[in-house]
Amino acid sequence: MKKIQVYSLIVWALILCSCLTREQDVRIVKDFNFNWNFKLGAHPEAVKTTFDSSDWRTLNLPHDWSIEGAFSKDHPTKPEGGALPAGEGWYRKSFQISEEWKEKTIAIEFDGVYRNSEVWINGKHLGKRPNGYISFSYDLTPYLHYGTQENIITVKVDNSLQPNSRWYTGSGIYRKVQLVVTNKLHIAHWGTYITTPKITKELGEVAIEITLQNDTDTEKSIELVSLVYDENEQEVAKIITKKNINSKESVKANQTLEVKKPILWDTKNPYLYTVKTKVYEGATLVDNFENVLGFRSFNFDAEKGFSLNGVPTKIHGVCLHHDNGALGAVASYDAIKRKLRLMKEMGVNAIRVSHNPSSVELLDLCDKMGFIVQAEAFDVWKKKKVKADYHLDWDEWHKKDLQDFVKRDRNHPSVMMWSIGNEIREQFDSTGIAITKELVNIVKKLDQTRPVTSALTENIPEKNYIYQSGALDLLGFNYKHEDYTSFPEKFKGQKIIASESVSALETRGHYDHFDADEIKRWPPAHNQPFDGNDDFTVSAYDQVSAYWGATHEESWEAVKALDYIAGTFIWTGMDYLGEPIPYPYPARSSYFGIVDLAGFPKDVYYMYQSEWSDQEVLHIFPHWNWTKNQEVDVWAYYNHADEVELFLNGKSLGKKSKKGDDLHVSWKVKYEPGILKAISRKDGKVILEKEIHTAGKAAQINLTADKKEIHNNQYDLAYITVDVVDEKGVLVPNANHLIEFEISGGGEIVGVDNGYQANLSSFKASEIKAYNGKCLVIVQSNGKEENIVLKATSSIGISSNTIEIKVKK
Ligand code: GAL
Q: How far apart are CA 365 and CA 744, in angstroms?
A: 31
Could you give the CA distance from residue 161 to residue 129 in angstroms, rounded to a whole number? 15
Q: How far apart are CA 654 and CA 636, in angstroms?
A: 13
Q: Which amino acid is it at 663? A: L
Q: Which of 775, 723, 724 is nearest to 749 (CA)?
A: 775
Q: What would the mean pLDDT of 221-232 be, rounded to a whole number?
A: 98
CA atoms within 13 A on the CB side of 296: 28
CATH class of 28-183: mainly beta
185-293: what fold?
Answer: Immunoglobulin-like (2.60.40)
How far, rounded to the nearest angstrom, does the alpha carbon of residue 266 sit from its chain's CA centroid?
Answer: 19
**DSSP string over 715-746:** --EEEEEEEEE-TTS-B-TT---EEEEEEESS
3-state secondary structure of 131: coil
5 confidence band (pLDDT: 50, 70, 90): low
- List, for residues 102-150, the tens digit of each pLDDT value: 999 999 999 999 999 999 999 999 999 999 999 999 999 999 999 999 9
For residue 445, the surrounding DSSP H or E stretch is helix 431-446
Ligand 1 centroid – CA 645 distance (Å): 39
Distance (Å) of CA 40 to CA 156, 278, 337: 10, 44, 30
> How deeply is 113 buried, as exposed, middle or buried, from its count of CB atoms within 10 A (0-12, 13-18, 19+)?
buried
Check pLDDT > 80 for residue 16: no
Closest residue to atom 3 of ligand 1, CA basis: 571
CA 382 – CA 768 distance, rounded (Å): 43
Looking at the chain, how many residues does it have?
809
If 0-12 CB within 10 Å is exposed, 13-18 middle and 19+ buried, where does residue 789 land? middle
Angle at 495 between CA 494 and CA 498, to 5 degrees: 120
Whether residue 762 has pLDDT greater than 60: yes
Give the nearest ligand 1 atom to 503 CA: 12
The set of residues, in sequence order, having a beta carbon less than 8 Å from that of 146 and lying 6+ positions away, is 97, 98, 99, 101, 102
- On the 0-12 / 13-18 / 19+ scale of CB atoms within 10 A, 517 is exposed
255-280 mean pLDDT: 98
Q: How far apart are CA 185 and CA 183, in angstroms?
A: 5
CA atoms within 13 A on the CB side of 578: 26
The answer to whether 324 and 77 have CB atoms below 8 angstroms apart is no
Packed helices 394-409 and 431-446: angle between N→C axes, nearest 10 degrees = 30
pLDDT of residue 18 exceeding 70, the answer is: no
Rounded distance between C-alpha atoms, residue 179 and residue 186, angstroms: 15
Span 450-475, average pLDDT: 98
% pLDDT > 90, the chain: 96
User: pLDDT digit string (tens) for 423-450?
Assistant: 999 999 999 999 999 999 999 999 999 9
Average pLDDT estimate for 303-327: 98
Strand ranges in 160-219 using DSSP code E only, listed in sequence order: 177-183, 185-199, 203-214
Architecture label for domain 300-506+542-575: Alpha-Beta Barrel (3.20)
- Confidence tier at 17 by pLDDT (50, 70, 90): very low
Ligand 1 centroid–CA 563 distance in Å is: 25
Atom 6 (ligand 1) nearest CA: 503
Q: Give nearest CA residue, ligand 1 atom 11.
A: 503
What does the pLDDT look like over 329-388, one tens digit per residue?
999 999 999 999 999 999 999 999 999 999 999 999 999 999 999 999 999 999 999 999
Q: Where are the domains of the chain?
A: 28-183, 185-293, 300-506+542-575, 618-693, 700-808
Question: pLDDT tens-digit profile of 631-659?
Answer: 999 999 999 999 999 999 999 999 999 99
What pTM does this model have? 0.96
Report whether residue 478 contacts ligand 1, using a CB cutoff of 6 Å.
yes
Atom of ligand 1 nearest to the CA of 355: 9
Ligand 1 contacts CB of residue 422 (under 6 A): yes
Q: Are 277 and 224 in contact (CB under 8 A)?
A: yes
Q: Write out pLDDT tens, residues 664-721.
A: 999 999 999 999 999 999 999 999 999 999 999 999 999 999 999 999 999 999 999 9
Ligand 1 centroid to residue 483 C-alpha, Å: 18
Of the candidates 85, 257, 56, the residue with the CA atom closest to the CA atom of residue 171: 85
Q: Please indicate whether residue 423, judged by its CB atom, sits closer than 6 Å to ligand 1.
A: yes
Local structure of residue 482 (DSSP, 8 states): G
The pLDDT value recorded for residue 21 is: 57
Answer whether 772's CB lies under 8 Å from 695's CB.
no
Residue 98 pLDDT > 60: yes
How far is residue 677's CA from residue 391's CA, in Å, rounded to a whole number? 55
State the CB neighbour count (10 A cutoff) for residue 216: 16
C-alpha of residue 167 to centroid of ligand 1, in Å: 10
User: Taking residues 68-95, what's their average pLDDT?
Assistant: 98
Strand pairing of 87-95 and 36-40? Answer: antiparallel
CA 502 to ligand 1 center in whole angstroms: 10
* Alpha-carbon span 662 to 517, nearest angstrom: 11
Please work out whether the CB of residue 404 comes within 6 Å of at least one atom of ligand 1: no
Three-state secondary-structure class, residue 690: strand
The reply to whether ligand 1 has any atom less than 6 angstroms from the CB of 500 is yes
2: pLDDT strictly greater than 90: no
Is the shortest distance between the CB of 546 and ligand 1 below 6 Å?
A: yes
Nearest-5° angle of CA 455, CA 372, CA 357? Answer: 55
Pocket test for ligand 1, best of 318, 321, 506, 571 (most atoms within 8 A of CB): 571
**Which residues are tagged catalytic?**
423, 500
Dist. CA 362–CA 341, nearest whole Å: 12
What gap in Å lies between CA 503 and CA 601, rounded to an integer?
16
Residue among 380, 456, 459, 503 to mutate when testing ligand 1 (max atoms within 8 A of CB): 503
**In sequence order, which ranges of 18-136 are alpha helices (DSSP H)?**
23-26
The finding on whether 135 has its CB within 6 A of some atom of ligand 1 is: no
> What per-residue confidence (pLDDT) applies to 11?
46
**Amino acid identity for residue 785 in this structure:** E
Check for a shared fold between 28-183 and 618-693.
Answer: no
* Per-residue pLDDT at 367: 99
CA of 456 to the centre of ligand 1 (A): 11
How many angstroms separate the CA atoms of 609 and 348, rounded? 8
Domain 618-693 homologous superfamily, CATH:
Immunoglobulins (2.60.40.10)
For the segment 563-584, the average pLDDT, to the nearest whole number, is 98
Q: Which letter does DSSP use for residue 140 in this model?
A: -
- Superfamily grouping for domain 700-808: Immunoglobulins (2.60.40.10)
Q: β-strand 273-281 against 185-199: which pairing, if any? A: unpaired
- Taking only the tens place, the pLDDT of each residue in 284-298 is 999 999 999 999 999
